[in-house]
Structure 1
Amino acid sequence: MLLVVPDRNPATFIKVESDRFISLNIWERRHIQEWIRQAPEVLGEDLLVVSTEFNRFKNSDDRLDILALDRKGNLVIIELKRDGYAGFADLQALRYAAMVSSMRLEILLPYYITYQRQANCHDIDSDSALEQLREFVTEKESFEELSDKPRIILCSEGFSTELTTTVLWLNQHGMDISCVSIKPHKVGEQIIIVPNKIIPLQEAKQYLIEIQQKEEAKQQVNSRSKRPTTMKVLIESGRLKSGDKIYLSRFLPAYLQPASRTDLRYVAEITGKLGKNDNVRWLNDGSEYSISYLTHLIFLTYHPNNQHPGAIQGGIYWVTETGQSLAEMADDVWASKQILQ
């Protein structure tokens, strides 16, 4: 959303919600590519465009939207999508990065010369072109050759969770991929484009937190792999009794954050039974489940895309009134029992 403040009355403002490129009849190649070509700084950094519609790939008819150079001498693949899904943009850009990773500076020069002649009407020779590239690369003492690790910038109206998760995972494993969202806003007869670099930024923090939580949960599972099940230990020891309430609270994914303990979706009651499917009663529907299956059911039911959560050890995620997780409580009981033996 934008706040538009009139010149004559700065005490007032108009709220302008973002629009869609499709509804505004804005096209990827004809419009968005041309904007980025002429003003690449909209992507959040200094870039020198060296080619557009680059298609000089061996045994391939693919066309790379924009090929650029950054201040460190890295080639930058800029992949543009006008819709909010940007489907397969990550895979497409990775393919382009692989294909240009072996490109040498002497091979790049003719493409840069051609681009300057066609796009900017600048007739330059190889020496002038090489000098321009070297002058642009300011973050290297001497720029004699291209890096063999191209960077990637994905630019779109929006990005799916699947794509951003993939990008963050690839960045963790040595890739350099940015995601820049560009949103159109119609103000009178004008269209205002608002860029926002979403990766690497806030989304990365949440992803890394979830990865850390997953690792902590995995370590807890490994530490208790030799003891009986959590519910068996706690019920047989008397630490949990029929009617005790427990709350889903630990290691929750971002889409599942309980507002309070009064929300029955996140509250269960101990039944005192030790069967395979009757340890707890879910207060949301009154049915009995095993602690792990109930956790699985909640994660699946409330995921925005009904994504299967995989195998789950339920005791890690539920806590008692005091805030201690069932798994931690069972570990304590079991450790005490082993000492006494």
Structure 2
Amino acid sequence: MFYIKANKAQKIDPITFSELNFQESDIEELLRSNIDMICDEEESMLIVGRQVRNAKHGRSDLTAVDNNGNIVLIEIKRDPKDIEIRSEAFEFQAIRYAASYATIEDPEDLVNKIYAPYIEKYRDEYEHQTLTSIELGMRKLTEFLQVNGAEHTFNIRQKVILVASDFDEQTLSAVAWLNSNGVNMSCYKLIPHKINEEVYINVEKVLPLASYNDYFVNFLEPATAIKKPRKGLTRRSLPKIDAMLDWGVVNEGDIISAKDRDQEATLLANGHVLVDEEEKSLQKWLKDIYGWSSVQTYVFAIHKESGKSLSEIREEYMDKKKDEAE
């Protein structure tokens, strides 16, 4: 990372969370309130638990449900040193916790065991104070699953997200192997930098990659991590709203509505929207409307003039360009 001041570039080296006196609980709270840091605008997520204790008295950091109905386990370690000193491997601890979530039978079971206690703990963050935590949890989870079309895929699979400022090679190798064998596991780096007493965090998705061979540890030769060029478009490389404005498929001043809601906003030239004279990102606007931790921006933002979602408009344009190129 470089800091630019008066046309001069100064390199800013990353530091560790321990140097910042951050505890794991601090990172946990940061992600609980800002889970869109590690799930992009193509994914919806609802946080339903924090520090959930399983039958063997283990505690998982954060628990969520995604737009596919998967229960998502998010495990956090500050720095590589915290991973290395553990008696049990980071990834296998997470797998044990995820296995316990496989026993959740249905949404009501999740609400009773996990979501209702979470709502009770953070009750002041929720509306409908007259509802019990169980009633409110069932209402919010049912709506989330229905709107995302995930009622019939609830907890068929579990997903694991590992978060740290960096990972050792053995962890990356194990996660790559698990992914290639059908385990849905991701690794995200939260890399802190300090500039003039302010902390900046760079978020980088490390795994999964298009090819997991990049991170397999070869026990016969020195381990390397040479990344091969990615093929095709991954979710994180899909064009965003700024590209769509450049293409001319949407324009400054267009009206954007929230899917199945009566709220509208005006698209700005920078890709944000204007709502009640306040500028917000599309993600922030939609999060405020739906009350979820993260929202599939391009699915739930509807271009009023065409009646199509931004996702549909983007896909049509990209398909057209692909056909022209062929």
The TM tier, using the shorter chain, reads 0.5 to 0.7
- The answer to whether structure 1 residue 35 and structure 2 residue 38 are counterparts is no
Determine the C-alpha separation between the residues in 2 that align with 1:19 and 1:202: 29
Provide structure 1 residue ranges, at least 5 long, that are not aligned to the other structure.
215-250, 258-341
CA RMSD of the aligned region, Å? Answer: 2.8
Alpha carbons of 1:37 and 1:142: their partners in 2 closer, same or farther (altered >3 Å)?
closer
Q: Residues of 2 paired with 1:44 and 1:51: CA distance?
A: 17
Deviation, 1:146, is 2.5
Partner of 1:224: none
> Structure 1 residues 156, 256: CA separation in 2 closer, same or farther (over 3 Å shift)?
closer
8 Å CA contact retained: 1:103, 1:146? no
Please say if 1:113 is aligned against 2:116: yes
Aligned mates of 2:14, 2:148 — CA distance in 1: 40
Secondary structure of 1:162's counterpart equals: helix
**Corresponding letter in the other structure for 2:214:** Q
CA distance, structure 1, for counterparts of residue 140 and residue 58 of structure 2: 28
Structure 1 residue 197 corresponds to structure 2 residue 197: no
**1:71-150 correspondence runs (5 A):** 71-85=67-81, 86-87=83-84, 88-104=89-105, 105-110=107-112, 111-121=114-124, 122=126, 123=129, 124-125=131-132, 126-137=134-145, 140-144=148-152, 146-150=154-158
How far, CA to CA, are the matches of 2:46 and 2:225 in structure 1?
Answer: 43
CA distance in 2, matches of 1:135, 1:106: 13
**Contact conserved, 1:67 with 1:75, CA < 8 A, in 2?**
yes
Mapped partners of 2:197, 2:182: distance in 1:
44
Instruction: For 1:1-341, list aligned pairs within 5 A.
Output: 2-6=1-5, 9=6, 11-29=7-25, 31-45=26-40, 46-55=44-53, 57-58=54-55, 60-85=56-81, 86-87=83-84, 88-104=89-105, 105-110=107-112, 111-121=114-124, 122=126, 123=129, 124-125=131-132, 126-137=134-145, 140-144=148-152, 146-201=154-209, 204=212, 206-207=214-215, 255=224
Aligned residues: 211
> Quick check: 2:214–2:225 contact (8 Å CA) kept in 1?
no
Alignment-mate amino acid for residue 95 of structure 1: R
Give aligned-pair identity as a percent. 27
Residue type of the partner of 1:73?
Answer: G
1:53–1:252 distance in 2 versus 1, CA, 3 Å: closer
Instruction: Give the match for residue 267 of structure 1.
Output: none
Flag structure 2 segments of 5+ consecutive residues without an equivalent: 227-326
* Contact kept in structure 2, 1:79 and 1:153, CA below 8 Å: yes
TM (normalized to structure 1)?
0.56
Q: Pick closer, same or farther for the CA change 1:142–1:169 going to 2, 3 Å.
A: closer
Deviation at 1:127, TM superposition (A): 4.1
**CA pair 189-179 structure 1, distance change in 2 beyond 3 A:** same
